[in-house]
Amino acid sequence: MKRSLVLAAAVIAAFSLTVQNADARGRHHIAKGVKVAAIVTGAAATATYFSINGWNWRWQNNSSGMTSLAAYGATTLGCAAIAPMVATVLVKRPLTMREGHVLVGSCVLPIVGGWLVNEAYNAHPEWEGRPVRKHHRRKAK
């Protein structure tokens, strides 16, 4: 019973952090596909972490020989590599630097990492950079 309540609270907290408040000052919003990719890849990384430990909450000596820190590092790197690929497919365009960093932040610190990175970008708009413009050549007459 206690485990199911903790899981329900974690799921509610995860979804509540994906909601952004209305703001008319020109803040950049993260595409829904990026949010979905962060949630799906984060859940997959968490499931992989627990499967390495035989689905035990506390880390024990297991057959894989990995420490808790090694398993966390491996699943974080896997999540950081896969999340931008999944998000690019979902949004059907190249990701912005902000979106890529939000995805990696969500992998490093689940649930709040992406939110913290997004707020850091909101506090420092100069990090965003300028959009790249394609130069069109004039046709010779």
Q: What pLDDT score was predicted for residue 129?
A: 73
Any idea how long the chain is? 141
| DSSP secondary structure code for residue 9 in this structure | H
Contact 95, 80 (CB under 8 A): no
How far out from the chain centre does Cα 96 lie? 13
Given this model, what pLDDT does residue 126 score? 85
Instruction: Tell me, yes or no, if the pTM score tops 0.75.
Output: no
pLDDT on residue 137: 67
Contact between 101 and 120 (Cβ < 8 Å): no
Tell me, what's the pLDDT at 105? 94
| Number of continuous H segments (helices) and E segments (strands) in the chain | 5, 0
φ/ψ bin of 56: left (φ > 0), alpha (ψ from -120 to 50), beta (otherwise): beta
Q: How many angstroms separate the Cα of 137 from the Cα of each of 118, 132, 133, 140?
A: 37, 16, 13, 9
> CB of 53 within 8 A of CB of 60?
yes
Mean pLDDT by 10 residues, the chain (141 residues): 65 56 55 91 91 80 77 93 95 92 92 90 83 64 62
The C-alpha atoms of residue 45 and residue 123 are separated, in whole angstroms, by: 29
The neighbour count for residue 136, using CB atoms within 10 Å, is 6
Residue-level pLDDT at 110 = 85
Question: What is the spatial distance between Cα 106 and Cα 84, in angstroms, rounded to a whole number?
Answer: 11
pLDDT at 91: 94
**pLDDT on residue 22:** 45
